[in-house]
Amino acid sequence: MKRPPAYWLKAKRTLSKRDPVIRKIIKKYKKGFLTSKNDPFFSLCRTIIGQQISTKAADSIWARFEKKCKKNIKPKIVLKISSRNLKSAGLSRQKVSYLKNIAKAFKNKSFNIKKLKKMKDEEAISYITKLKGLGVWSAEMFLMFNLNRADIFPVKDIGLLRSISKNYKTSYPPSKKFLNKISKLHSGYRSVSTWYFWRDIDSEDVEY
């Protein structure tokens, strides 16, 4: 049985005291929490497939990708599948290249997950983005969904921006000044508020 991160309940109480808007969303969605599969390679593959497409499209392509891998998402499996075969799952040539590149980095151990776990958020983002195909958004998703870091605020995420705009009745996209205000208000637990913002525009659990 999955459990919430150790900080989750304290985060909900703290955010609810600071911000009546997020308090309302937290009260509305009593079930669910940020979870981790504890599988770094799986998470990064999921993140790459989810880049710049809707959740629905990503889920569809992911299901076909899993089928190609026979539900065994491992570096050696991804490397064995031909690029042409992966493309037939609905992946772009670029995303196939990224997946292969990450699989190689895991196989030859040039990507050190133990080292990454000891890094602070900004340092970890810098480390992850050295891998071809992984930008800041992808690194933030990894820190949230694999390492369950408590204070990630992915300001380029379309779903987050849509939800902030809707819930605070502000412009879309929200101004940088407004996002900074929300960021400071939720500081310490921005991963938690982000999760609730996502939940408010999509009832399905977000997972990478």
At 37 the pLDDT is 79
Distance CA 161, CA 186 (A): 15
Cβ-proximal residues to 122 (8 Å cutoff; 6+ apart), any chain: none
At 54 the pLDDT is 81
DSSP code per residue over 54-66: -HHHHHHHHHHHH
Instruction: Tell me the pLDDT tens digit for each residue of 116-136.
Output: 999 999 999 999 999 999 999
pLDDT band at 2 (very low <50, low <70, confident <90, very high): confident
pLDDT at residue 158 is higher than 80: yes
Whole-prediction pTM: 0.89
pLDDT at residue 187 is higher than 70: yes
State the residue for tokens 């955010």: 15
pLDDT band at 167 (very low <50, low <70, confident <90, very high): very high
At 55 the pLDDT is 80
Identify the structural domains of the chain with CATH numbers, from first to last.
Answer: 8-34+152-201 (1.10.1670.40), 40-145 (1.10.340.30)
At 203 the pLDDT is 67
**Segment 186-206 mean pLDDT:** 90
At 56 the pLDDT is 85
For residue 149, what are its two tokens?
């870091």
pLDDT band at 26 (very low <50, low <70, confident <90, very high): very high
- Determine what percent of the chain is predicted with pLDDT higher than 90: 87
At 206 the pLDDT is 65
pLDDT band at 202 (very low <50, low <70, confident <90, very high): confident
Torsion angle, alpha carbons of 68, 129, 200, 188, to 10: 140
pLDDT at residue 200 is higher than 90: yes
Mean pLDDT of the chain: 94
